[in-house]
Amino acid sequence: MRKRLSSMDTAPDGSNLAGVRHIILVLSGKGGVGKSTISTQIALALRHAGKKVGILDVDLCGPSIPRMLNAHGQDVHQCDSGWVPVYVDQEKSISLMSIGFLLERPDDAIVWRGPKKNAMIKQFVGDVAWGDLDFLIVDTPPGTSDEHITTMDALRPFNPMGAVVVTTPQAVSIGDVRRELTFCKKMGLPVVGIVENMSGFVCPHCTECTNVFSKGGGEELARHAGVPFLGCVPLDPLLTQSLEQGKDFIKEFPKSAAYSSITSIAQQILDGVTQGS
């Protein structure tokens, strides 16, 4: 941890979230389903829809979003209200906070017990000066453990819009995500909808779709649980390329296989805001 940011003396009071209109948590019961990918792409799609978006990366042991948005290596500064998030674009329409910005070296591991993780999450929630945002996307670690409970307890006073729950099509993933839906119910967190990620591979040459990991499990789970199904995002080499290079996939590849899926998910989120207002 960089020494100038190692102090956790400030008690978070949540006032920095006063200007945030809608908070969405991205959850899944297991790792490797692409929560960070979905978080970044929803944020980019909402930005292209004219919204001002923040991303809070509370995956303390796997902070990958700074690289996905080509923001790694940036410094976090302090102001009177707390920490200033890193702005991803010149227009300051996407802001980001991640523990990845606080490490001395990118390969440093976070070897912390639960209380220290929980303290950092509380500070992230209370001490980041987000300013006015239309949406705050919270990217969470896998599971339903201490970090999730701490995040929910810290955000509950601000009435989160709900959770986008990410799964992959195969039965093992669906089983774990079913537990995540139970977590949402126990925590009183509405489910915005389920996203089935890695849903088939669309060949970039012939456009034929191959269901590498089966198909339809996410939609069936949504139907069974009585929650919205937001859509399927296929395996797309162009999306992978964008994430590796920190490019804006929504801007760079509007004709790609995953583009329409991601923009449709973002539009359903916007429609939900309109219907709830």
Q: How far is it, in rounded angstroms, from Cα 74 to Cα 165?
A: 29
Strand residues in 140-208 grouped as ranges (E): 162-167, 191-202
- Tell whether residue 98 is among the known ligand binding residues: no
Range of the domain at 180: 12-272
| Residue 204 is assigned to a structural domain of this protein | yes
Mean pLDDT by 10 residues, the chain (277 residues): 46 75 93 93 97 96 92 89 92 94 84 90 93 97 88 94 93 84 94 93 77 81 94 91 93 90 97 80
| Residue 7 is assigned to a structural domain of this protein | no
Global pTM value: 0.91
| Residue 231 is assigned to a structural domain of this protein | yes
First to last CA, the chain: 42
Relative to beta strand 133-139, strand 20-27 is: parallel
| Residue 277 is assigned to a structural domain of this protein | no
- Tell whether residue 125 is among the known ligand binding residues: no
Determine the pLDDT at residue 72: 87
| Residue 167 is assigned to a structural domain of this protein | yes
| Residue 98 is assigned to a structural domain of this protein | yes
| Exposure class string for 58-91: b at 16+ Cβ within 10 A, else e | bbbebbbbbbbbbbbebebeeeeebbbbbebeee
- Tell whether residue 272 is among the known ligand binding residues: no
| Residue 6 is assigned to a structural domain of this protein | no
- Tell whether residue 14 is among the known ligand binding residues: no
| Residue 28 is assigned to a structural domain of this protein | yes
Determine the pLDDT at residue 5: 45
- Tell whether residue 232 is among the known ligand binding residues: no
**How many domains are contained in the chain?**
1
| Exposure class string for 17-44: b at 16+ Cβ within 10 A, else e | beebebbbbbbbbbeebbbbbbbbbbbb
- Tell whether residue 186 is among the known ligand binding residues: no
Q: Measure Cα distances from 259 to 31, 61, 146, 238, 252 in Å.
A: 23, 29, 34, 10, 10
- Tell whether residue 33 is among the known ligand binding residues: yes
Look up the CATH number of the domain holding residue 171: 3.40.50.300
Of the candidates 60, 41, 39, 57, the one whose C-alpha atom is nearest the C-alpha of residue 49 is 41
